[in-house]
Amino acid sequence: MAIEIFPINLVSLVCICIMIGTIVYAHYKKWMMAYAIIITNFIIFVLSLAFPQEIIYDLAFRPIYLSIDFFPQIYTLFTSMFLHSTYDFFHIIFNTLMFILIAPHFEGRIGRNKFLGIYLITGICAALFHSVFVPLLPDPFPFDPWIGLIGASGAISGIIGAYAYAYPRDNVFFPVGFFIMRVPILFAGIFFIAIQSVYVFIGGDPGVAYLAHIGGFLSGVVISAGLIKPKVKEEYKAPTAGGYFSSETPIYTQKARKINFSNLEKLATTNEQKELIKQIENETVSEVRDAWLEHFLDKIVCPKCNKSLKHDNGKIWCEKDHFRTKY
C-alpha cells in the first residue's frame, strides 16, 4: 500500500525552523528552556493568527498519523506542542500562566537539558495516551482519528507530574479556582490530576483532550522516577507562632548539600565570578543559592582550553577531558 505524504507549505516549514532553532539557540546561549519555549509558543501563535489554516492543518497531530499509511506525519507529535487555538485566546494564556508559575522553578532544580527532555517526551506521551485510550471512552468524547491535537497542555501536565514526584514539598504558586495560591507542588499535582479525571468521568468540554493531560502527567511521574535523583534531603519545618505559614515561608525546608568552595574559587577568574561565589556562600535560602550556583557554573571555563565546562551532580569537567573536579 502506498504511503501518503502531505505537502508542507512554506510558512509551516518556517514554523518548524523557529521551533527547532529557538531551542538550539537557547541551549547555545544557556537560556532557561522554560522561557525559550514560551517565546516560541507566542511566535508560532502570532504566525498562526495570520495563517491559521496552513499552520494548524500541517502541524497539528492527528491519531490517524500513527497508521503506516500516514506515518511520515509523525513529526507532528513534536510540532503540535507549540500550537494553540487561534479562536480561543484563553488557551495560550492559561498554558503560559501555568508554565510561568511552575516550569522555571523545576528547571532550576534539574537543569535545562533534563527539563527539555521531560517536556518533549511527556508532550509526545500525552498525545499517544490520548490516541490509545480516547477510543475506549463513551460519549461525550467521540473519537475521530482525523481531529487534530494542538497545545502545550500535555507537556505542561508532564512537568507538573515530574515536579510533584521529584520534589513534592517544594512550594509553588498554582491556580485553585479563581485564586492563585502558594501550595506544595504535591498538592498542586494531586488537585490537577483529580480535576482532569473528574472531567473524564462526568463529561467535560469534548474539545479538550483531558486524557492527554492525564497521560502527560503520568508519563512525567514515570520519567521523574527514573531520571531525577534529588540531590538533597527534605525535612519538615514547624509552623511559626500562631500555627500559620506566611506566604513567603516554605512549608518545608531543605538540608543544603555542602559545597566545596575551595575548588570553585580556583575556577573564578573574573571579578564577577568571585562576587558570585560570595553570594553563594552568604545565601541562606537553598533554592536561591542553587540558582546562583547554576549561574556561576554556566560562566566558568576550562583553565587549559578556555572552553565552557560541563557540570552535573556535584562534578565539573571539560568535554575534551582537560580538566575534572568536584564542588
pLDDT the model gives residue 245: 36
In angstroms, rounded to a whole number, what is the distance separating the alpha carbons of residues 83 and 259?
A: 42
Please enumerate in sequence order all residues whose Cβ is within 8 A of that of 205, keeping only pairs 6 or more positions apart, or say none. 199
d(CA 97, CA 160): 13
What pLDDT was estimated at residue 76? Answer: 94
For residue 140, say if its preceding peptide bond is cis, omega within 30 degrees of 0.
yes
- What's the CA gap between 319 and 108, in Å, rounded? 22
**b/e for 180-198, b at 16 or more Cβ within 10 A?**
eebbbbebbbeebbeebee
Pairing of the two strands 252-254 and 310-312: unpaired
- Note the pLDDT of residue 157: 93
180-201: pLDDT as tens digits: 888 899 998 998 888 888 876 7
Who contacts 63 (Cβ-Cβ below 8 Å, separation ≥6)?
130, 131, 134, 143, 145, 147, 149
Q: Phi and psi dihedrals of 270, rounded to 5? A: -125, 165
Kind and range of the H or E element at 179?
A: strand 179-184
Which pLDDT belongs to residue 196? 84
- Domains of the chain plus CATH, in order, are 10-227 (1.20.1540.10), 256-326 (no CATH)
Q: Where does the pLDDT of residue 161 fall: very low under 50, low under 70, confident under 90, or very high at 90 and above?
A: very high
Query: Model's pTM, two decimal places?
Result: 0.69
What would the mean pLDDT of 262-286 be, rounded to a whole number?
81
pLDDT of residue 318: 81
**Does residue 315 surpass a pLDDT of 90?**
no
Beta-strand pair 179-184/324-326:
unpaired
